Amino acid sequence: MTPSLPALLSHETLYPRRGEPETQALAGELESVTRSSVYPQSITAAGRCVFFLGCQKEQKSVGVLASSASRHDISGETQRLLVGNQEAILTIGPTSVANAVALKKALPFLVPVPLGLRKSAGCGDRLGMATPGHIRAIRKSDMAPILAQQSIRENARTGRTPRQVMDDALWGVFQEGWREGFGADADHLKTIADVDVCSAAGYTFYTIDPGEYVDNGADAASPDALIRKVEALPWNELESDWKSLQDRLTGKPIDLEGFRLDISRTDLLRAAAKYGRVVAHTVKMYRHLAMVMKGRPFELEMSVDETDTITSLPEHVYIAHELQRLGVRWVSLAPRYVGTFEKGVDFLGNLDEFERSFARHLAVSKTFGPYKLSLHSGSDKFSVYPVAARVAGDLVHLKTAGTSYLEALRAIASVNPVLFREIAQFAAERYPSDRSSYHVSAEVAKMADPISLPDDQLVTLLDRFDSREILHVTFGSVLNHPSFREPIFETLRGNEEVYYSMLERHFDKHFSPFRSLHAQETQR
């Protein structure tokens, strides 16, 4: 039986989520009252209030229909009316910071939580509009989602703050009625100041990026040079010395999952020289984070993926052993894997070699954790997903970001080809300078000329290696260009279902290889 608004207004606890026919019927009732469209999945009853997200002329607003005896903190324009025989108060307010805070207080499922060792996926969103599409794909998977995720570097390029990223995800979660929990990743943090601003915004997952402390020169350094590098390490911060480190990790095999690893003195010299300062910086960041969180639960990821040299097995053991010794607790780690993980395109390298290496890294994660292996720059690595799923099972975290921006461009290409053509032409001009902070290999000379392509062929630029990377890494320049920013948002707001459907289809391709056998049977 479909619940009515009067029945929901008398409900004290959180009302169970309803199926589509019921939510559509309730949306119809609310629309007759509010005279604006209502997102059916957003309708939520709790505390004798009915909360919902509405939209009028592409402007979203939060609404509350409350019994006269209830209380809430949503602010906006109010009016009294009768719902059945009950007197109620309707409040329609903006999707503001204050109303986001109030809504989280009323509906705790909108507050991000730690996800633990559940198989997980990070869904970065550079525009703040992709979360509904992400959720629609997540609902068909068995991945635990991180729905607020953006790096400090991306925040600077998109003009957003960590709190805005959090709130944009919240409104998407509310719109889709997602109640199964989600995480919030403060991504690629490099400084104490980064930690402070993200902890104040309420993040639950913190990715420490100590990449600038990696000594890539250690890979090819001579034994004498390695000794000098190790002698210069900040041993006070590492709370140890070279002799003690040797005693801990050399002279006896280390039992890993299914095999034993002997670390030679030279192996350890190289690992310490390369990653010693990484360990010291990560410990410093972790201890500061633990202090500012003041008992609030959080999770840590450490990432050294965006570096020039591959993380060897002895180096992974060194990192994990020393972090563990120094009291760091982490849930996932992103080494620099074999092969190449470039932005927005598939894996470049030998998959058999990747599988052998990935399995051995997983053995380290099980021995010193367990913790998840994280696939950074994980967008569109379709050849890698079956391997990672088969080898790691649940001990995997997939991190995506720019691919959602590319799907926004795909939506724009289909509904506003004039705008897309201008963006593509501008991206080709900007790429030579914008590529400097990325590991990419696209060449402008290999990109098809967007001016000469007919409208129905423009989307092919998003399916070709060179043009796809070029469009990917130039997002900051595009979003900061006055000719593009507002037209992009206007186009997507006016065609949001087109965007959501493209995201859902694209992320189905990302998540389906990770589905467990049980999840696959459930989907049938």
State pLDDT tens for residues 262-310: 999 999 999 999 999 999 999 999 999 999 999 999 999 999 998 999 9
Give the residue from 313, 310, 25, 78 showing the smallest Cα distance to 65.
78
Distance CA 510, CA 104 (A): 30
Asked if pLDDT for residue 517 goes beyond 80, the answer is no
Q: Say what the pLDDT of residue 519 is.
A: 57
Q: Is 496 a catalytic residue?
A: no
Q: Average pLDDT over the chain, rounded to whole?
A: 96
Compute and round to an integer the Cα radius of gyration of the chain: 25
CA gap 134, 173 in Å, rounded = 10
Tell me the C-alpha distance between 520 and 358, whole Å: 24
pLDDT at 231: 98
Question: Which residues on adjacent β-strands are paired with residue 80?
Answer: 89
Higher pLDDT, 17 or 112: 112
Virtual torsion, Cα 419, 422, 425, 428, nearest 10 deg: -70
Check if the beta carbon of residue 496 is closer than 8 Å to that of residue 135. no
Predicted confidence (pLDDT) at residue 524 exceeds the cutoff of 80 = no
| DSSP states of 440-494 | ----GGGS--TTTS-GGGGGGGGSSHHHHHHHHHTHHHHHTSTTTHHHHHHHHHH
Query: Is 187 considered catalytic here?
Result: yes
Distance of CA 277 to the CA centre of its chain: 27
pLDDT digits (tens, 9 = 90+) for 25-68: 999 999 998 888 999 999 999 999 999 999 999 999 999 999 98
* Residue in 167, 185, 187, 422 annotated catalytic: 187
Pairing of strands 205-208, 183-189: parallel
What does the pLDDT read at residue 398?
98
Q: Which of 229, 217, 245, 397 is nearest to 319 (CA)?
A: 245
pTM assigned to the model: 0.96
Give the residue-averaged pLDDT of 60-85.
Answer: 94
For residue 3, pLDDT beyond 80:
no
Match 């593009």 to its residue by tokens. 484
Query: Comparing C-alpha atoms, which of 190, 138, 197 is closest to residue 169?
Result: 138
pLDDT 10s digits, 123-146: 999 999 999 999 999 999 999 999
Residue 84: which pLDDT band, with cuts at 50, 70 and 90? confident
Q: Where are the domains of the chain?
A: 5-109, 209-400, 404-509
> Rounded to an integer, what distance in angstroms lies between the CA atom of residue 474 and that of residue 78?
44
Least Cα distance to 176 among 42, 85, 32, 18 occurs for 42
State pLDDT tens for residues 196-248. 999 999 999 999 999 999 999 999 999 999 999 999 999 999 999 999 999 99
Query: According to the model, what pLDDT value does residue 425 have?
Result: 98
Q: What is the pLDDT of residue 520?
A: 58
Q: What is the pLDDT of residues 317-369, one digit of tens each?
A: 999 999 999 999 999 999 999 999 999 999 999 999 999 999 999 999 999 99
Pairing type for strands 144-151 and 183-189 reads: parallel
String of DSSP letters for 356-378: HHHHHHHHHHHHH---EEEETT-
At position 481, the amino acid (one-letter code) is H
At 104, is the pLDDT very low, low, confident or very high (cuts 50, 70, 90)? very high
pLDDT of 522 > 70? The answer is: no
At 334, is the secondary structure helix, strand, or coil? strand
Q: DSSP per residue over 224-242, as a string? A: HHHHHHHHTS-HHHHTS-H
The one catalytic residue among 301, 322, 407, 434: 301
CA-CA-CA-CA torsion for 95, 99, 102, 103, nearest 10 degrees? -10
Q: Which of 162-171, 291-300, 359-368, 434-443 is predicted with the least confidence, judged by mean pLDDT? A: 434-443
Place 523 in a pLDDT band, splitting at 50, 70 and 90.
low
Confidence at 419, pLDDT banded by 50, 70, 90: very high
Given a cut of 90, whether residue 452 has pLDDT beyond it is yes
Mean pLDDT of 154-160: 92
Q: CB–CB of 317/261 below 8 Å?
A: yes
The whole-number pLDDT of residue 509 equals 98
Report pLDDT for 521. Answer: 47
Q: What angle do helix axes 265-293 and 242-249 make, rounded to 10 degrees?
A: 100
The pLDDT assigned to 438 comes to 86
